């Protein structure tokens, strides 16, 4: 039921403790209000390649602002103090502490754009659907309006705002369980709107084994040619786009449910999926979110296919991390940008050991920082070059050390020794050893 490009929603558990020194946060510009003041308000017609990301964001934010929603500031990848995970991994993450009470200090109607980062599927990055860094568009009602109202507004934005054809929508709603009946109200709302609706027992959202939970409406869009066929469960051309959750209950430790004092309505839509759909392309890598990085990687280093996608994804993610004040280091949060930079360099140096991050143009870095509403003066280049120097020294030392192991497979004990004694991470050892043994 998660509409983000990466499937699991587990917290990140990367090498190193979480309680390392907190980074100095970068200065973040609140550009949400600027996005609402610039550009068109409504995208009429049908999806076409004319839709740009900033135009789409402006339309989404302005739609909810006009309905009385207060834009949430920030959107940092760094969770609030006291949160045990390394990074914000979902759109709901920064608001979790307000779900139990159903109250938020900024009011009952909120809208936000939240950047998220997950490293649990790094090996999948480069296919059509996986990204390390992604953004979630969210709208919220804390004890204000009903789930039915949220569904009707969502339908209005998709059809009147973004120009999606109603006959290309399909919705699944909670079909009931041993404890609760089906979500008849949502089913009735979608039927009145003329959208095909299907009951699914799996349409139930929960924060975890205990805590806030409730029924979920999942909006799917037909991405194939011609008349839609089948259902989301039988035809992969249906793309899950937007979730509308009503948190009605609290799951107790004994497994029972009790009503929440104030209901919370939460909607979440992946920006990359929305931009892909409205741009008329098959993957987010073909949108203006990634094309500047892809074209740069091709021009500077001659990479193509999965390699250009991985390089672009990881460098873009590192820029956003640096913009939020995270600096590379050996443990905790800092290890994530270091790991991403090293994955980039490993792929580039496989092609040509003279490739360097010093070739990156300032424009692609600055535009990425501006997109994420971060300070465009963030010192990205110096950090990248320092990490490149460190990794180059590590690679040279690693080759000398691994020469002693030539002719036999490496064991787990070898990997532990190489890491603890020589500071060589297992992923670096594996890649280097292939070259040494060849």
Quick: pLDDT tens for 147-177.
999 999 999 999 999 999 999 999 999 999 9
Q: Would you put residue 380 in left (φ > 0), alpha (ψ -120 to 50) or beta? A: alpha
Task: List, in sequence order, every residue forming a beta bridge with 222; answer none if it has no partner.
Answer: 238
Q: Report the alpha-carbon distance of residue 256 to residue 248 in Å, rounded.
A: 13
Residue 9 has pLDDT above 80, yes or no: no
Residue burial 387-402, b: 16+ Cβ < 10 Å; e: rest: bbeebeebbeebeebb
Give Cα 82 to chain centroid, integer Å.
22
Percent of the chain whose predicted confidence (pLDDT) is above 90? 70
Residue with the two structure tokens 């983000």: 4
Strands 70-71 and 109-117, sheet pairing: parallel
Residue, of 202 and 437, whose pLDDT is higher: 202
Q: Report the alpha-carbon distance of residue 428 to residue 332 in Å, rounded.
A: 18
pLDDT of residue 435: 55
Q: Cβ(216)–Cβ(151) under 8 Å?
A: no
Phi, psi of 428 (to 5 degrees): -70, -40
pLDDT digits 0-9 by tens, 394-431: 988 888 888 888 778 888 888 888 888 877 778 778 77
Given CA atoms 192, 57, 294, 345 in this order, what sign does their dihedral have?
Answer: negative
Task: List, in sequence order, every residue forming a beta bridge with 204; answer none if it has no partner.
Answer: 215
Mean per-residue pLDDT for 63-67? 98
Q: Report the alpha-carbon distance of residue 217 to residue 68 in Å, rounded.
A: 23
Hey, what are 392's tokens? 């180059």
Mean per-residue pLDDT for 227-234? 94
Given CA atoms 325, 327, 333, 339 in this order, what sign does their dihedral have?
Answer: positive
Q: Report the half-sphere exposure of 182 (CA within 13 A, side-chain side).
A: 12
| Strand stretches in 237-365, DSSP E | 238-251, 257-270
Q: Report the alpha-carbon distance of residue 142 to residue 72 in Å, rounded.
A: 13
Report the predicted TM-score, pTM, of the whole model to 2 decimal places: 0.85
- What average pLDDT does the structure give for the chain? 87
**Among candidate residues 311, 295, 396, 319, the one with its CA nearest the CA of residue 356:** 311
Report which DSSP code applies to 21. P
Residue 438 has pLDDT above 70, yes or no: no
Longest dimension (CA), the chain: 72
pLDDT of residue 425: 79
Q: Cβ(366)–Cβ(323) under 8 Å?
A: no
Q: Report the alpha-carbon distance of residue 215 to residue 3 in Å, rounded.
A: 15
SS3 category, 105: coil
Q: Report the alpha-carbon distance of residue 117 to residue 417 in Å, rounded.
A: 31
Given CA atoms 422, 426, 432, 433 in this order, what sign does their dihedral have?
Answer: positive
Residue with the two structure tokens 């558990």: 13
pLDDT of residue 232: 95
């Amino acid at each position: 039921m998660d509409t983000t490009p990466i499937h699991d929603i587990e917290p990140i558990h990367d090498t190193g403790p979480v309680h390392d020194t907190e980074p100095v946060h970068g200065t973040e510009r609140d550009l949400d209000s600027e996005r609402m003041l610039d550009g068109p308000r409504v995208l009429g017609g049908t999806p076409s390649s004319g839709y740009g990301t900033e135009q789409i964001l402006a339309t989404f934010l302005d739609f909810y602002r006009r309905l009385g929603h207060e834009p949430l500031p920030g959107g940092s990848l760094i969770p609030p103090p006291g949160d045990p995970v390394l990074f914000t991994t979902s759109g709901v993450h920064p608001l979790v502490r307000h779900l139990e009470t159903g109250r938020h200090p900024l009011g009952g109607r909120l809208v936000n754009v939240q950047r998220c980062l997950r490293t649990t599927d790094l090996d999948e990055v480069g296919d059509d659907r996986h990204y390390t860094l992604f953004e979630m568009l969210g709208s919220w009602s804390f004890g204000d309006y009903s789930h039915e109202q949220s569904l009707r507004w969502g339908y209005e934005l998709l059809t009147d705002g973004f120009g999606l054809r109603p006959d290309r929508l399909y919705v699944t709603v909670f079909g009931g369980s041993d404890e609760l009946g089906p979500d008849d109200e949502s089913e009735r709302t979608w039927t009145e709107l003329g959208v095909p609706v299907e009951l699914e027992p799996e349409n139930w959202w929960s924060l975890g084994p205990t805590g806030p939970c409730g029924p979920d409406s999942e909006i799917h869009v037909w991405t194939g040619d011609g008349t839609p066929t089948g259902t989301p469960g039988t035809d992969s051309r249906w793309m899950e786009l937007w979730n509308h959750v009503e948190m009605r209950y609290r799951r107790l430790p004994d497994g029972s449910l009790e009503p929440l004092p104030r209901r919370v309505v939460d909607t979440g839509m992946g920006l990359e999926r929305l931009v892909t759909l409205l741009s008329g392309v098959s993957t987010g890598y073909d949108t203006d979110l990634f094309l500047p990085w892809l074209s740069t990687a091709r021009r500077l280093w001659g990479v193509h296919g999965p390699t250009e996608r991985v390089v672009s994804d990881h460098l873009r993610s590192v820029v956003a991390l640096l913009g939020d004040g995270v600096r590379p280091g050996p443990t905790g949060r800092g290890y994530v940008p270091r790991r991403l930079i090293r994955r980039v360099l490993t792929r580039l140096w496989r092609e040509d050991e003279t490739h360097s991050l010093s070739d990156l143009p300032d424009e692609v870095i600055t535009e990425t920082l501006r997109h994420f509403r971060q300070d465009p003066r963030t010192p990205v280049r110096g950090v990248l070059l320092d990490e490149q120097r460190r990794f180059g020294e590590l690679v040279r030392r690693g080759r000398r050390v691994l020469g002693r192991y030539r002719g036999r497979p490496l064991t787990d004990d070898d990997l532990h020794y190489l890491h603890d004694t020589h500071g060589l991470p297992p992923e670096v050892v594996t890649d280097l050893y292939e070259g040494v043994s060849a």
